[in-house]
Structures are given as C-alpha cells and as structure tokens.
Amino acid sequence: MVTTIYLIRHGATEGDEVKRYKGSIDIPLSDRGVEQINKTLDFIVRYAQKIRVEREKNPLIEREPKPPKGDETVRRPLLNAVYTSPLKRAVKSAEIVAKPFSLTPVELPELTERNFGLWEGMTYLEIKEKYPLEFDRWTKDPLSYSPPMGESTLQVRDRVLKCLEKIIESHRADNENIAIVAHGGVNRILLCHFLGIPLENIFRIEQDHGGVNIIELWERYPVVKLINGISF
C-alpha cells in the first residue's frame, strides 16, 4: 500500500521584487506565480502517469484492475485530494492543481505559514535594525524563540504535524495520491519530519516558489523521492 504526497509551495506573489517576511499576511498570487504553478501541475501529471505504469509492473504493489476496453473511468485517479493553507496565495495555487481532476481544495488553517508577529512585512535588514536584541535571540535559538507576538518554529511544527497525521489517516486506501499546497516554512518542517532529520536543519532545505516535493508512504514509512523540483 503506497500513498504518494505531492508537497507544493505556492507560486510567486505580488510584490516579490523585495524579499520580506510575509508570514500570515494574505498576499495574492502574481501572474508569474500562476505560470509557475501551471508548469508544476504539468510536471505532476507527467510524473503521476509514469509512476502509474511502473506500479502496474511492481509485484510488491497490489495491481490496479485493468478497465474495460474504452472505459478509463474505473482506473484510480492521478490525484485523489488536494489540501491547502487558507491564505490566498496557496488557495489559488491549489485551485490550479485541483481543477484538471475536478477536485475542490480542502482548506486547513493548520497549514498556514508561520506568524512572524511584529516582523511581518519587514525585510531581513529592517528586522535586524529595529529589533536587534530580539533578532539576536532568534538567531541563537531559532526553534523555541518566537518573534514578538509571533510563533516559534516548535509551535508551527506541532500544529503542522498534527494536521499531517489527520491527512494521512484520511487516505489509507491503496495507492492514493494527494497534494498539499503550503508555504516555505511549513514545507521545510514536513520535509525534516519525513527525512528524520533534526529540525535545526530546517534552513538547509530550499523551497522555491512552485517547487514540488514528492514523498511516498509505504505502509507509513516515508521515502522522499524529490525535493524542491521545479520545471521552469
């Protein structure tokens, strides 16, 4: 029994010319972001079709019954469900991914990007200059220290992993494929979890806009097939 997870970061947003800590600010997807996600979708479809063929030949996986001639509707879908953060940039990305499969994205607040509190909307240098003491504490303890009125990495981890467990439990059927559209911080936490590496390494994992990560769960045992794959 294999569950495939396509973990996607939303596309580029309006105002991305200047890098800021957007966090939970609800910024819409840009035209470039739409283009990125469309290309990501094309990549996912091609990959899913390839994997379907390979799994049909794999003796370790229950074979999918062949459809009657001329009737492909009984085959398992390439994508069974799409979950998303409720922020606009993620929802729009999820809608693009879900549309070809006639799916409606399920919005889960637990997948929202980290709340950076008073630092939201600020650049790295602005934070360092305006909040030097707090910034120093954050750099020395990035896991448990939270920005003023914001969330710590550990707090985000707790809500995100609980959400992941619920999603997995909802898709225990044979060979289901699901997409999760979230954010850079959320995705890094999930990848550390799947890889079994300390959360201190979170910023060693890159997550570009529109990037896709592919994880296979073999009876709940994760195998990471791709990290930050992009097709543009």
| CB atoms near residue 219 (< 10 Å) | 8
Query: Per the domain annotation, does 124 fall within a domain?
Result: no
Query: Per the domain annotation, does 122 fall within a domain?
Result: no
Query: Per the domain annotation, does 165 fall within a domain?
Result: yes
Mean pLDDT of the chain: 90
pLDDT given at position 227: 97
d(CA 139, CA 8): 27
Query: Per the domain annotation, does 67 fall within a domain?
Result: no
pLDDT given at position 214: 98
- pLDDT in 10s for each residue of the chain, 232 residues: 789 999 999 999 998 888 888 899 999 999 999 999 999 999 999 999 998 888 777 666 555 555 555 544 445 689 999 999 999 999 999 999 999 999 999 999 999 999 999 999 999 899 999 999 999 999 899 899 999 999 999 999 999 999 999 999 998 776 799 999 999 999 999 999 999 999 999 989 999 999 999 999 998 799 999 999 986 6
d(CA 151, CA 168): 25
Structure-token pair, residue 13: 């947003």
Structure-token pair, residue 214: 């592919």
Q: How many domains does the chain have?
A: 1
pLDDT given at position 17: 80
Could you tell me the CATH number of the domain that includes residue 176?
A: 3.40.50.1240
Query: Per the domain annotation, does 188 fall within a domain?
Result: yes
Structural domain of 172? 2-62+72-116+154-229
Span 48-97, pLDDT tens digits = 999 888 877 766 655 555 555 554 444 568 999 999 999 999 999 999 99
Query: Per the domain annotation, does 136 fall within a domain?
Result: no
Query: Per the domain annotation, does 126 fall within a domain?
Result: no
pTM of the model: 0.90
d(CA 171, CA 154): 26
Query: Per the domain annotation, does 84 fall within a domain?
Result: yes
